[in-house]
Structure 1
Amino acid sequence: MISYLKGINTEIVKTINNRHILILEVNDIGYEIQVPSRLVQQLSTENSATVQIFTYLQIQEDKQILYGFATAAERDLFRQLVGVSGIGMQLGIAAIDTLGISDLVGAIVSGNISTLTKIPGVGNKTAERIALELKTKLSQWRKLAGVAIDQPASSSLPKPEILEDLEMTLLALGYSNEEIESAINAISQNDLLLKNPNVEEWIRSAIAWLGE
């Protein structure tokens, strides 16, 4: 596998199907690398500059395609996305382009389906599948990768006494801290639940979310 390429940004070509191809010259060899439009905006001011592109190589029967990203974390998130059933390379690129790495990881970890459906080609079922398959993996990975995500404001969390009972109950049931954090962030988006002082309702909602 090619982890990254460092070379001269020779040209960026836009194809007829709106894909962006970076021509990166490395040791007198020009590599064609499909990149997100977010990276294109950054590279457009760096023509003929030496740049480092983190890559993912897709091998098919009749061709090989290089995909390029600005950071290793972005590339690794792309790997996670395309590992989900039904998520192809172009949808993975679209997800990163549409939301960016921080918002995308935050939406997956918190199970924010409405945010995930903003990605072109992603409906409710696909969004639910992405969240279901990746929420636990990305809860752990984003800390190792140093990816910051927006957390709900304190006003969007249960009251401290509810939060304490909720966390203690979920820990006693065997859930990890990462799973508990993800569940609380997700269910705290429910305005009706936020107004509910019954901790048992919070516990039921968290367990239901964790069991999806």
Structure 2
Amino acid sequence: MTIAYLKGNVIEVAKNFSNRMILVLEVNNIGYEVQITPRFSRQLSSENPENFQVFTHLQIQEDRQILYGFATVTERDLFRQLVSVSGIGMQLAIALLDTLGITELVTAIVTSNVPVLTKTPGVGKKTAERIALELKSKLSEWKELPSSEVATEVEATTNTGAMPKPEILEDIEMTLAALGYSNEEIAQAIAAISRDNLLIKNPNVEEWLRSAISWLSGE
């Protein structure tokens, strides 16, 4: 059985006896307990919104069923990718999403930024290295992009013809795709930031990613 999402009235958001953040969502007169990240809980209105949608992952154990809830499909799918890594359980995956947030987490994985990943309680250097090693390739398969098409569109829309280095371009495409952006949005962002004469000389992929995400966010 799969529950893709639930939509209903928020009854309560509070920590349970295990110090985990629980959302109680009433759907058709049934109250569902859904574990969410503290980061997600802070996004909820204190007025308990109605007709609220949460994307879910159902874990079935021998003695119980546990629902995990997420603000977006992308976040839910990234959670599933995280728990597919050897040694990464549900609670550690929740901790990664809560500590870093989806953008910083995806960026750290794609760029193999181990120090950022180890900011999460319970994630040591070896675990961080394993996450980066296993998930970078999985992210490219999960949100696969036709890189040549993106590169062609970037070249066609960039006045100067300047392009980031191939390895930087690949990381930008992979990260933005994993964050849910379309091929067209990615191409437009890369074309726009490639006009920055200072950035085009910068070998730091994280600076490129920050600029791309900022441009896409309209900041």
The CA deviation at 1:17 is: 2.9
Using the aligned pairs only, state the percent identity.
61
- 1:62-105, Cα deviation, whole Å (9 max, x unpaired): 11000000000000000000110000101000000000001100
TM-aligned CA distance change 1:62 to 1:18, over 3 Å: same
Q: Hey, what does 1:157 align to over in structure 2?
A: 203
SS of 1:23's equivalent?
A: strand
Deviation (angstroms), 1:145:
5.2
Q: Tell me the residue number matched to 1:24.
A: 25
Alignment CA distance shift 1:103-1:3 (3 Å): same
For 2:39 and 2:10, the matched residues in 1 are separated by 15
Task: Determine helix, strand or coil for the equivalent of 1:11.
Answer: strand
Residue number in structure 1 paired with 2:74 = 73
Structure with larger Rg: 1
Alignment-derived partner of residue 91 in structure 2: 90
In structure 1, how many angstroms separate the alpha carbons of the residues matched to 2:114 and 2:181?
A: 20
TM-score, normalising length: structure 1: 0.69
1:127-183 CA distance string (max 9 Å, x none)? 00000110022245251652599x9x545418xxxxxxxxxxxxxxxxxxxxxxxxx
Asked whether the equivalents of residues 6 and 56 of structure 2 are also in contact (C-alpha less than 8 Å), the reply is yes
In structure 2, the residue matched to 1:64 is 65
Corresponding residue for residue 171 of structure 2: none
Correspondence for 1:146 among 180, 186, 206: 180
- CA distance, structure 1, for counterparts of residue 61 and residue 9 of structure 2: 27
Q: For 1:77, give the aligned amino acid.
A: L
Aligned-residue Cα RMSD (Å) equals: 2.6
Is 1:118–2:164 an aligned residue pair? Answer: no
Question: Which residue is equivalent to 1:15?
Answer: 16
| 1:45 is the counterpart of 2:79 | no
Question: What residue is the counterpart of 1:163 in the other structure?
Answer: none
SS at match of 2:123: coil
8 Å contact 2:139–2:178 — kept in the other structure?
no
TM-score by length of 2: 0.67
Hey, what's the Cα distance between the residues in 2 that align with 1:113 and 1:75?
Answer: 22
Moved over 4 A (4+): none
Give a deviation string over 1:28-73, Cα, whole Å, max 9, x none.
0000000011110111434142210000000011110000000000
Q: Quickly say closer, same or farther: Cα 1:111–1:120, change in 2 above 3 A.
A: same
CA distance in 2: counterparts of 1:138 and 1:25, whole angstroms: 34
Q: Where do 5+ consecutive residues of structure 1 fail to align?
A: 159-184, 187-212
Secondary structure, aligned partner of 1:80: helix
Gaps of 5+ in 2: 144-174, 191-198, 207-219
**What is the CA–CA distance in structure 2 between the aligned matches of 1:124 and 1:87, rounded to whole Å?**
13
Partner of 1:5: 6
Q: Is the contact made by 1:81 and 1:92 (CA closer than 8 Å) also made in structure 2?
A: yes
